[in-house]
Every structure is written in C-alpha cells, then in structure tokens.
Amino acid sequence: MVDLMAREPTRDTPANASRRRLAWRAGWGIMAFCALAVTVWGLAFVFVDSAGDPALKTRYLRTPWAMYAHILGGAAALGVGAFQFLAGLRAARPALHRTLGRVYLVGVLVGGVGGLRLATFSAGGWVGHVGFGALSTAWLLATLIGYLRLRKGAAGGHGAWMVRSYALTLAAVTIRIYLPLLQSLSLGFERSMAIVSWSSWITNLLLAEWILRRR
C-alpha cells in the first residue's frame, strides 16, 4: 500500500528557488514598511506635540533623557536595520553596510540604556517593569554579542546574532500590533501592557530562531 503521508525529498528546482526569493522579498518588504512606519511614528511622538497619547508622554517625561534616548536611538536602529539584510547591498556597497552597522550599534546602545530607565516606571505594573527591562537587556546583549563576533572574525555567528538583535528591535512594531488587539478583548490598558511587555519580543525571538534553523 502506498503511504499517502510520505513526502518526497524537496528538490531545489528553479521554480522552488523562485518561490523562495519571492517569499523573501515579500517578507522583507512587509518588515521594512512596518519598521519605517514605526520609525516615523517615533519621531513624530518626540517632535510633534499633538502626536501620541498625552498621558504616555507625561509618563515618559518624568525622565526626559531616557525618553529621547530610547525613542531616537530605537528609531535609528529600526530605520537602518532592515537594510542590513539586503545581500545585494552588502556585496555592492560594503562601506555603506559598515556605516549603517555603526549607526545601528549606536542606536541600540542609546535606545537600550534609555529603555532600561523607562522600564522602571512603565505601564503594566511590576510585570511590565520586568518585561520591558528584560527586553532592553536582551536587546543590548544580543547586539553586543553580534558586534564581538564580528570583531573576532566570526562572520557566521555575527549574522545570526544580528538577526536576533533586529528581532528584538522589531518589538517596537509588534507591540503596536498586539496592544490594540488585546485592548479589543476588553483587557484594559495596564493588563494589555503587562502582556505585551513580554509577548512583543519573545514571539519575535522564537520566529528568528525558526528562521535561523531553516537556513
């Protein structure tokens, strides 16, 4: 009897390769669009008085330096990070790739330090404080490990850790997707923030690990 559940080995045909390229481009396009949209939102939050939740601004302005560091540093990392995954750019413009990498590194360092301070009085109670603090810590560590791997000449390890780093950077996007969804379930702002303080970055890391293991 033929086993209908048996699967033939996947063949790397031109059609399969074309589908993979198309899927990658579509995924990158969606990621880049969302990243740039949140970058613009972050800049508007800082520089446009009417942009954003006034109560949230009041909370952040308890420590102005932390707000500016987190939002501006995070916006820089979010905005340039997506372009670091373009193999064509890395091959054709290696100097630009290195420059964008430096901008990304500084953005994460500045944004992560600001995030650690903001976490101490974030929304979501103590669960939110710990969750956002853990996010900032993981963000800084993943980026630092990626940078140190590059300095040691471990290009493969560098790439994997920068994928993890940018997955954490993209928490700025996923939090803006998850939060309204949770609030639509009548969970309330504080409870929703407690949940997204963890889910916004853990799900991203799990997806990053899945992508890395499929390489």
Q: Is the dihedral of CA 88, 90, 94, 95 positive or negative?
A: positive
Per-position pLDDT tens, the chain of length 215: 333 333 334 456 766 767 777 887 888 889 999 999 999 999 998 888 888 788 888 888 889 999 999 999 999 999 999 999 888 888 888 899 999 999 999 999 999 999 999 999 999 999 999 999 999 999 999 999 999 999 887 666 888 999 999 999 999 999 999 999 999 998 989 999 999 999 999 999 999 999 898 87
Assessment of whether the complete model's pTM goes beyond 0.85: yes
CA distances from residue 167 to 11, 24, 209 in whole angstroms, order as listed: 30, 16, 10
Cβ–Cβ contacts within 10 Å for residue 166, how many? 25
To which H or E segment does residue 120 belong? none
Instruction: Report the chain's terminal Cα–Cα distance, integer Å.
Output: 35
The DSSP call for residue 51 is S
User: Long-range contacts: 106-109, Cβ < 8 Å, 24+?
Assistant: 106/73, 106/76, 107/73, 107/74, 107/75, 107/76, 107/77, 107/78, 107/80, 108/73, 108/77, 108/139, 108/140, 108/143, 108/165, 108/169, 109/73, 109/140, 109/143
* Residue 25 identity: R
Q: What is the pLDDT of residue 109?
A: 97
